Amino acid sequence: MKFQTWINTNCILTVSAIVLLLVTSMITIAEEDHFDSKGKPPSKTTVEHQKNLRKSLPFSDKRDFEEQKKGFIAKPDYDQIKDESGNVVWDMGRYDFLLQGKEFDSIHPSLQRQAILNMNYGLYEVVPGIYQVTGIRPGEHHIYQRENGLDRI
């Protein structure tokens, strides 16, 4: 009987400690801002991990950004694509926050870097006679120049 009482007492203490931790973490979360009302900020473990990644990955190497500029011809003067009814079906402007130079603890640093590279969109000449349109939709268009016109794939 003593053993059963010990287990019950320890279970109650353990459950109480867990509830206290959850309530404390919920208060901490409520005090921090999040871009979405349904979201929550990253955990302290995630924040620390992201900081370590920023220190260890070669983000000082800017060659990707230089390479990405090669062949660039033009960017459209709009950042939204609408359907026949006027509904927005693609909006590059929604991602402008990536260009603010901020480090986001909720985004893996490598994915953030790739997303920033993707913000350079428009018409590119890949090689003479072959063009690529990027960023206009979630895919890419390739255009081939022929003697009698253009083909799109």
> Within a domain: residue 105?
yes
Percent of the chain residues topping a pLDDT of 90: 29
Q: What confidence tens digit (pLDDT) does each residue in 52-94 have?
A: 999 999 989 999 999 989 999 998 888 888 889 999 988 888 8
Helix/strand/coil for 30: helix
Percent of the chain residues past pLDDT 70, beyond the cut? 69
Other CB atoms within a 10 A radius of the CB of residue 106 amount to 14
Q: Is 75 helix (H, G, I), strand (E, B) or coil?
A: coil
Residue 10 has pLDDT above 70, yes or no: no
**Band of the pLDDT at 153, cuts 50, 70, 90?**
low
Instruction: With respect to residue 89, please indicate whether it lies within any of the assigned structural domains.
Output: yes
| Residue 114 domain flag | yes
Name the region of 91 (left: φ>0; alpha: ψ -120 to 50; beta: rest). beta
Domain of 70? 61-152
3-state secondary structure of 81: strand
pTM for this model (two decimals): 0.64
